[in-house]
Amino acid sequence: MKYDLLKKENGVVEANIQLDAQEWSDSVEKAYQKNKSKYSIPGFRKGHAPRNVIEKTYGAGVFIQDALDDVFYMVYSQILKEHEEVQPYEAPKLDVKKIDEKGLEISLTIPCLPEFNLGEYKGLEFTKHISKVTEEQVNQAIDRELMRASRFVDTNKPVKNDDTVTLDFEGFIDGKAFDGGKAEKYPLKIGSHSFIDTFEEQLIGLNVGDEKDVNVKFPEDYHQKDLAGKPAVFKVKIHDIRERVMPELNEEFVQNSSEFETVDEFKNSIRERLNNQAKESAEIELDNKILDTIVDSTNISLPDSLIDAETDRQIKGMETQLAYQGASLEDYAKYVGKTVEQLKAEQRMMAERQVKGRLVLEKLIKTENLDIDDAEIDARISEIAVSQNSTVEEYKKAIGSDGINRIANELLMKKLLDFLRQNNTIKE
C-alpha cells in the first residue's frame, strides 16, 4: 500500500491511497473471513460456505464494502500516526476512484485544523486594576446581610411595596372568565413584577379584606396567543398582608449571625471580603486581558465548516436550555427583540471567537510543552475531597472520568496562565 498527502485550501488535506492487486485481494479475503458466519447457504453449515459460493449467491461485491471500511480505518489510522500535523476536526470523506483486478485507488478528504503562527505572547506589558472598595459598597453589603436575616410578619397596615400578600383573583376578558386566570390564596410579593402590566402596583394601599377590580393589558407577545394584547379585568380580594421586618445592626445581630462580637469587627470582615473579591476580579480580568491580547494578535484562517459546527453546537445547547424552561428559540428571540437569524448570526461570531481562542490556547500549551502529571491531579483531587469531607476514592467515583478530566484541564489552564504572567510584565 502507498499513499501521498496533498494540502489544499482551508486546512483540508487530501490523501490518495493505492493498493495493488494482491493487497486488495487480501483485504477482500479478510472481509470474507470476518463476515462469512453471517451467511446461510443451502448445503453448507453456517459460516463454512466458500467465498466464491457466497459471492455467486449474494453478488460479486458482497464483501467489498466491509473491505473498504477496513482499508479506510487502517490507512486513516496510519496517516494520523505518521503525520502529527494532520489534525482533523471531523471525519474524512471517502471517495472510491477505482476498483478492478489491478487493485484499489481511493482518496480521503480530511478537514483539518488550520496551521498558523502564534502572535506575540512573551515580553508584553499589562496593567492589573484593583478596584478600591468604598464605604458605600460596605454599607450595601451589610444591607444585604440584614435583608437575608429579615422576616415577614402579619400586619394590618395597607399594602406597600416589598410586602407579601395572599389574595384570590379571577380574570375576565369582555366580561368572560378565561382559562388559567383564577387562583385562591395565592401568595404574591409586591414589586416582584411576576404579574403582568401594573397588576401589583394597583394593589398598593389596599387593606386586609378589601376587594378591587384590577385593570391590565396582556403584552402583545404574551405566550398564550388568545390573550396577547387584550385588556383584562381581575377581580381581587386580599386575605392577609405580611411586611418585612429588618433587624437592627447591633451587637446582638452580629453575635447571632456571625463569629464576631462587635459591629466594627463585623464591618471590617465585610470590607476584607469585598477587598478579596476585588482582588480576585482583578486577577480574572488580567488573565482575560492577556489571553485576548494573544488571540487578537494571532492570525488564523478558520474554515467555515469548523465555525458552523461550533455554532450549531451552541445553538442546540441554547435550545435545550430553553426547552427546560418551557420556551423555544423563537420565544427567546421575541423576548430580546431580535429574529432567530440575528441570534444565530451573533452566536456565529461568538463561536468563531471561541474556536480561535481554543486553538490558540492549545498551541500555546503545545509550544511551551506544558503538561499535568498524575501526581498533580491526585493532589488537587485530594485537596477537594478533604474540603468536602470525602475520601479520595469516594470523590473520584462521584465525579467520574469526566470530572477528573475537567480537573486536569483546570490545572493545565492555571499552569498556562502562570507561565504567561511570569513571561510578561504585570503592573499595578
CATH 1.10.3120.10 domain position(s) in the chain: 257-427
- Quick one: what percent of the chain has pLDDT higher than 70? 100
Average pLDDT score over residue span 398-402: 93
**Looking at the domain 257-427, which fold is it?**
Trigger factor, domain 2 (1.10.3120)
Sequence ranges of the chain with CATH classification 3.30.70.1050: 2-111
Largest CA distance in the chain: 98
CATH class for the region spanning 151-245: alpha beta
Residue 369's region, left for phi above 0, alpha for psi from -120 to 50, else beta, is left
Overall size of the chain counted in residues:
428
Does 170 score more than 80 pLDDT? Answer: yes
CATH 3.10.50.40 in the chain is located at 151-245
Secondary structure letter of residue 186 according to DSSP: E
**What confidence score (pLDDT) does residue 87 get?**
87
- CA 18/CA 4 separation, integer angstroms: 9
C-alpha cell belonging to residue 164: 407579601
pTM: 0.73
pLDDT tens for each residue of 35-85: 999 888 988 888 889 999 999 999 988 999 999 999 999 999 999 999 988
Query: What number does CATH give the domain 2-111?
Result: 3.30.70.1050
Place of cell 464591618: 267
User: What is d(CA 385, CA 391) in angstroms, rounded to the nearest whole number?
Assistant: 6
pLDDT in tens, 87-146: 898 889 999 999 988 999 999 999 988 889 999 999 999 999 999 999 999 999 999 999
Q: Supply 350's cell numbers.
A: 461568538
pLDDT at 425 over 90: yes
At 27 the pLDDT is 93
Sign of CA dihedral 260, 262, 268, 270: positive
Closest CA to 317 of 345, 342, 337, 347: 347
